Homo-oligomer: A and B are copies of this chain.
Amino acid sequence: MKALVTGAAGFIGSNLVDRLLAEGYEVAGFDNFSTGRMEFLSDALASPRFSLHRGDLLDSASLQAAMAGAGTVFHLAANADVRYGTTNPRKDLEQNTIGTANVLEAMRACGVKRIAFASSGSVYGEPEVFPTPENAPFPLQTSLYGASKLAAEGLIEAYCEGFGIEACIFRFVSILGERYSHGHVFDFYRSLRHNPGELQVLGDGKQRKSYLYVQDCIDAVLTAWRRTGRARVEVYNVGADEYCEVNDSVRWICERLGVRPRLLYSGGSRGWVGDSPFIFLDCKKLRALGWTPKTSIRTGVLRTVAYLEQNPWLLEARCLP
């Protein structure tokens, strides 16, 4: 079985590629390398069952070329920088919404009938119910990133109804672990390396977030994916059964690095426009399939720091937004 993984050179994508190869899949990787890293694919590239296709989701021809012969698509490519939506609103629309439409059209063209999609808990906006279930009250969007993922979910669902495709839609919390290359742990770690005496924290540090370790995330995806007897479209929350404050994360990172910086809060209950002050997803549906997260948030944060310590090149490489 050949699987196409979009965003194959990204944080989650490359971990998924490695796992699929380990399980015997033939894997075609697709990435535009806007944030993906060739280094993340060094293991994959050594496999005769892996092929790499450099291309952008907006280029339908290269997408179809990469998809040829695939039986399934794991669609992870996205603009994943939630914070910068208002800086460049077109980016989320193009990479996440139009990009997904192009993936679906390529599936029609290539006769591919199954898709797994990396959506986000941010589609719940600022939920009223915690932990938030998949059938929470119809939410209002608060970020362009969330809106673009919601739009992509809707497109996938409509294609399932209209064209007989099957989909698993995964609403991820923030993911941590090896190859993590953007987000708050990355920012804190880089800042503390530069200046251990001081740390800027967005918001008041009391934002409560659920995080998940990347291997638990991939376990979740593959558990749901293998499950037979699904409905045509299944939506799954994917998160930990716990949450922490940003301040907890700061403390774990500082303890690990042995630093005691002065904390400078930007203030307010949100880190940025559209930041949700509390993210905690109800994952009962996925747990009912036998999945359970094995790694605590604290361990996930510490493994992420360890990975960044072992890969200093990653700190230098990244420029935002």
Contact = CB atoms under 8 A, between A and B. Distances in A.
Contacts of A153: 141
Interface in A113-134: 125, 134
A26 to B, nearest CB: 29
Tell me if A's interface is mostly helix, strand, loop or mixed: helix
Contacts of A235: 140
Nearest to A169: B140
B140 A137 contact: no
Contacts of A146: 154, 158
A199 interface: no
Most interface-central of A139, A141, A163 (chain B CB within 10 A) = A141
B158 A233 contact: no
Contact of A151 (B136, B151, B159): B151
Contact of A138 (B101, B136, B142, B233): B136
Interface of A: 85-86, 89-90, 93, 97-98, 101, 104-105, 125, 134-144, 146-148, 150-151, 153-155, 157-159, 161-163, 233, 235, 273-274
